[in-house]
Every structure is written in structure tokens, then in C-alpha cells.
């Protein structure tokens, strides 16, 4: 068995230790004689799994008591709709457009009300985070929305916008649990877990209790109301049981690694290896304004499409996979999530140096 270095943006690399544990428990979970996949979500064994997952997540992020944690399904893209359905009381909200995922959320919100563009970095192909210190936020806006880490373009909000007192709603899919955050700064934050935490199909919503209510937009399905899931501890219907179990294992792994501060330091070291090389390379160059660089997704180009394609192909042959940039941007992108080991990034840079020598 040979594992490659997987630089995919998502679904993405998971800690090997977690996969091995899951494999060992596949046929008989903890003496139950069955797989977690085969187990009732109402069973005692499963209840322990989901409760521990929530508690471990609360510990990792230091989530205050007045925030609910919801394990949902439908991917991050379904949250683009559930946010306005649940939060757009005045049918008006502000959106900051920093890439495709923010744009998609913005387009979805327009189905339900007035979504206002507060700022955008579209003028320079989303290669930076716009100044968000004095946005045209009006009193009748229900919330301000951002995509905190832009998976495709490789930018990250290192300072959260001034929302002028409005609840901040943030998509953290590709930076969730990569570093500590102050949950109290958000009204709601959420993540599709397949980027940094677990298998596709699970979404995690962390929301301040006072924002949860029965008064959603008319026609909101029961399953789309945060209140339904909050009132039932994410067990209103059958949740994505196996996915949540794997997320729970990743939470335990993160705790064992020293928690999110330790993870942040590790991620900074890893990213620095790659960014330092990009800054000195004569062939490759990063595409993002330096102060807005993401620790998780690192896009880069040679400036020559044929050479980019050759690089991706030869890297794959060398065991460095999924380095092709997003289909809408081209070039390359290395996603270096929590579970990407330091050696993976070192191997990548070594390979880039060799490629540069051969092709310059």
C-alpha cells in the first residue's frame, strides 16, 4: 500500500491515524458487533459518538454556551440558501464578494431578498481581500456575509470586517479548525467538512442562540430551519452518522496534536516553506497579495499554460497529486490542510526546485 501526497482542495487529505482507526473499527465498533454505518442513530453507542464529537468541537473552538452546534447535511452550498431562509427577517443583507463561493452565496440570497454587494475584489481576479473597515452597511440589513478563506483564489480574511453591529455570517469551509478563532465575533459560522475535517456530506453550523427562531421565510422546509435541528440536538431525522463519527475522530486527533494554537503554528511553518520558495523562484509565482495569503490554499503559476500542465503531470508521476488549479482559474493550487504533513510540503518544494532547473 502506498499513500500519495494529496494536495486536493476537497474532498481532501485526512489524518492517516484517523483512517487507520476507522478501518480497525469497521466491522465491530467498540464491542457492538457492528459498523457505525449499520447502527441506529438513536442507539446508546451512537449517542455517545455525536455527544463526544460536539463536546470535543466545543473544547477546540472554545464555543460559548449561548451558541448551538448543528451537524447537518447538504454541503456548504445548501447553507447558501438556509442562511437567508433563517436570518433574512428584513429581506436584506450585505455580501462581501471575494470569490466564487461568496458569489454563489450572494446569488442564492437574491432568490429570497435584497442581497447587497458591500465590497468586492473581482477587479483583480479576487487576488486580494478588499478593505472592510467602513462598509456601506445600512440599518435594515439582517447580517453581513463573508467567505473567510477563499479556497479557489487562496485569499483569507486576516481581519474580520467591521459589520457595524450586524451579525457576521461566515463560510469557514476551507479554514475550519486550522487556527483558533473567537466565536463571539460571529453571529453564525459554518463549514462543509470535506476540506479540513471529514467526509463530504456533513456541514457544521455554529450559531448564536438568539438568531435561531421559528420565524423563517414563508415556505422554508422543516429540514432547512436551524430551529428544527437545534431543538433536537441534530437528531431530528437520521443525520449523516458515519461522517459525523469521522469528524469526531478528527476532533480527537486535533486535541492530541495540541489543539488549534499548535495546529496554527504547524500550518504557518508548512505554508512558509512554500511561500518562501514562491517569493524567490524565477519560474513560479504566487497569485495572491502577500498580506491576504491563505494558510490552506496556495495558488501559483508559471505564466505559461503548457508548462503548468507539464508540471501537474510530472508532479503526479512523482506522487504529488491534485495540484491542478481550479478549472475557472488555471495554473496550480496546493491545498495544505491540517492533515498534510510537513514532509508533503517539503517534497513539493523539492520537486518544484528540480522542475525549475530543468525548465528555465
Ligand X SMILES: *Cc1c(COP(=O)(O)O)cnc(C)c1O
The residues carrying an active-site annotation are 101, 171, 195
The DSSP result for 44-88, as a single string, is: HHHHHHHHHHHHHHHHHHT--TTEEEEEEESHHHHHHHHHHHHH-
By CB under 6 A, residue 198 contacts ligand X: no
Piece in contact with ligand X (CB under 6 A), picked from 40-48, 55-63, 170-178, 307-315: 170-178
By CB under 6 A, residue 292 contacts ligand X: no
By CB under 6 A, residue 76 contacts ligand X: yes
By CB under 6 A, residue 192 contacts ligand X: yes
Name the minimum Å distance from CB 203 to ligand X: 7
Task: Tell me the residue nearest to ligand X as measured from the CB.
Answer: 75
Beta bridge partners of 162: none
Cα three-residue angle 13-15-21, rounded to 5 degrees: 130
Rank residues 173 and 287 by Cβ distance to ligand X and give the closer one.
173
Rank residues 154 and 252 by Cβ distance to ligand X and give the closer one.
154
By CB under 6 A, residue 331 contacts ligand X: no
CB within 8 A of 198, min separation 6: which ones?
14, 243, 244, 246, 247, 250
d(CA 95, CA 84): 12
By CB under 6 A, residue 126 contacts ligand X: no
Piece in contact with ligand X (CB under 6 A), picked from 41-49, 166-174, 220-228, 312-320: 166-174
Piece in contact with ligand X (CB under 6 A), picked from 74-82, 154-162, 204-212, 333-341: 74-82
Question: 316-319: long-range contacts (C-beta < 8 A, 24 or more apart)?
Answer: 318/347, 318/351, 319/2, 319/4, 319/5, 319/347
By CB under 6 A, residue 6 contacts ligand X: no
Q: Which of 29, 101, 112, 242 binds ligand X (CB under 6 A)?
A: 101
Beta bridge partners of 96: 119
Give the x-and-dash track for 28-67 against ligand X (CB under 6 A). ----------------------------------------
By CB under 6 A, residue 190 contacts ligand X: no
Q: Using an 8 Å Cβ cutoff, are 132 and 121 in contact?
A: no
d(CA 314, CA 360): 15
Taking Cα atoms as reference points, which of 75, 132, 79, 138 lies closest to residue 105? 79
Name the minimum Å distance from CB 296 to ligand X: 9
Residue 295's CB is within 10 A of a number of other CB atoms, namely 25
Rank residues 101 and 251 by Cβ distance to ligand X and give the closer one.
101
Name the minimum Å distance from CB 293 to ligand X: 16
Rank residues 151 and 338 by Cβ distance to ligand X and give the closer one.
151
Q: Which of 98, 155, 174, 335 binds ligand X (CB under 6 A)?
A: 174
Binding site residues, ligand X, CB under 6 A: 10, 75-77, 101, 147, 151, 171, 173-174, 192, 195
Amino acid at each position: 500500500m502506498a499513500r500519495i501526497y494529496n494536495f486536493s482542495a476537497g474532498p481532501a487529505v485526512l489524518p492517516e491515524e484517523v483512517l487507520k482507526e476507522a478501518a480497525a473499527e469497521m466491522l465491530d465498533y467498540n464491542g457492538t458487533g457492528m459498523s457505525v454505518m449499520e447502527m441506529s442513530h438513536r442507539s446508546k453507542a451512537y449517542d455517545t459518538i455525536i455527544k463526544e464529537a460536539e463536546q470535543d468541537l466545543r473544547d477546540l473552538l472554545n464555543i460559548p454556551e449561548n451558541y448551538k452546534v448543528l451537524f447537518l447535511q447538504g454541503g456548504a452550498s445548501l447553507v447558501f440558501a438556509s442562511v437567508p431562509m433563517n436570518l433574512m427577517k428584513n429581506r436584506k443583507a450585505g455580501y462581501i464578494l471575494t470569490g466564487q463561493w461568496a458569489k454563489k452565496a450572494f446569488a442564492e440570497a437574491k432568490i429570497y431578498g435584497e442581497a447587497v454587494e458591500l465590497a468586492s475584489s473581482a477587479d483583480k481576479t479576487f487576488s486580494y481581500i478588499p478593505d472592510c473597515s467602513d462598509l456601506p452597511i445600512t440599518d435594515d440589513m439582517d447580517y453581513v456575509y463573508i467567505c473567510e478563506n477563499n479556497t479557489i483564489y487562496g485569499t483569507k480574511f486576516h481581519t474580520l470586517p467591521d459589520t457595524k453591529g450586524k451579525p457576521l455570517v461566515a463560510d469557514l469551509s476551507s479554514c475550519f479548525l486550522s487556527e483558533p478563532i473567537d466565536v463571539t465575533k460571529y453571529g453564525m459560522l459554518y463549514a462543509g467538512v470535506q476540506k479540513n475535517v471529514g467526509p463530504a456530506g456533513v456541514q457544521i453550523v455554529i450559531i448564536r442562540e438568539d438568531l435561531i427562531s421559528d420565524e423563517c421565510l414563508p415556505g422554508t422546509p422543516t429540514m432547512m430551519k436551524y430551529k428544527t435541528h437545534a431543538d433536537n440536538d441534530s437528531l431530528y431525522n437520521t443525520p449523516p452518522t458515519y461522517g459525523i463519527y469521522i469528524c469526531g475522530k478528527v476532533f480527537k486527533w486535533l486535541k492530541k496534536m495540541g489543539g488549534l494554537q499548535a495546529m496554527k503554528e504547524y500550518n504557518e511553518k508548512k505554508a512558509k516553506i512554500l511561500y518562501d520558495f514562491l517569493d524567490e523562484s524565477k519560474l513560479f509565482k504566487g497569485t495572491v497579495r502577500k498580506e491576504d495569503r491563505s494558510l490552506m490554499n496556495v495558488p501559483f503559476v508559471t505564466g505559461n499554460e503548457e508548462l503548468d500542465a507539464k508540471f501537474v503531470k510530472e508532479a503526479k508521476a512523482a506522487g504529488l497529486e491534485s495540484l491542478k488549479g481550479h478549472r475557472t482559474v488555471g495554473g496550480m493550487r496546493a491545498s495544505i490542510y491540517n492533515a498534510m504533513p510537513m514532509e508533503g510540503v517539503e517534497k513539493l518544494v523539492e520537486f518544484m526546485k528540480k522542475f525549475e532547473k530543468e525548465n528555465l
